[in-house]
């Protein structure tokens, strides 16, 4: 997937396409994780969707749950 250190670098256009593809994949992983966390908080803790979003976002950000 990536160039060997002795091979020539990727053209700039293809590099930006690769960069965009990686950004989309990273955003998808974060959104799926956020959605799973929200669903878990809504189902198990019986929180509203706004509170479930807040707690999930805080956990993903490394801050810890708000409603501890």
For 56: left if phi > 0, alpha if psi spans -120 to 50, otherwise beta; the answer is: alpha
Average pLDDT on 5-33 reads 97
> pTM for the full model?
0.82
Give the pLDDT band of residue 12 (cuts 50, 70, 90): very high
Residue 43 lies in a domain: yes
Residue 4 lies in a domain: no
Residue 49 lies in a domain: yes
Residue 26 lies in a domain: yes
Residue 67 lies in a domain: no
- What is the rounded CA–CA span in Å between residue 60 and residue 30? 8
Is the pLDDT assigned to residue 66 strictly greater than 90?
Answer: no
Average pLDDT on 35-62 reads 96
Percent of the chain with pLDDT over 70: 99
Give the pLDDT band of residue 68 (cuts 50, 70, 90): low
Work out how many domains the chain is built from and give that number: 1
Residue 5 lies in a domain: no
Domain span at residue 45 reads 12-60
């Amino acid at each position: 997937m990536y160039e060997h250190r002795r091979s020539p670098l990727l053209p700039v256009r293809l590099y930006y396409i690769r960069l965009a593809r990686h950004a989309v994949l990273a955003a998808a992983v974060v959104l799926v994780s956020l959605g799973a966390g929200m669903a878990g908080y809504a189902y198990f803790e019986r929180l509203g969707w706004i509170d479930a979003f807040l707690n999930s976002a805080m956990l993903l950000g490394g801050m810890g749950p708000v409603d501890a």
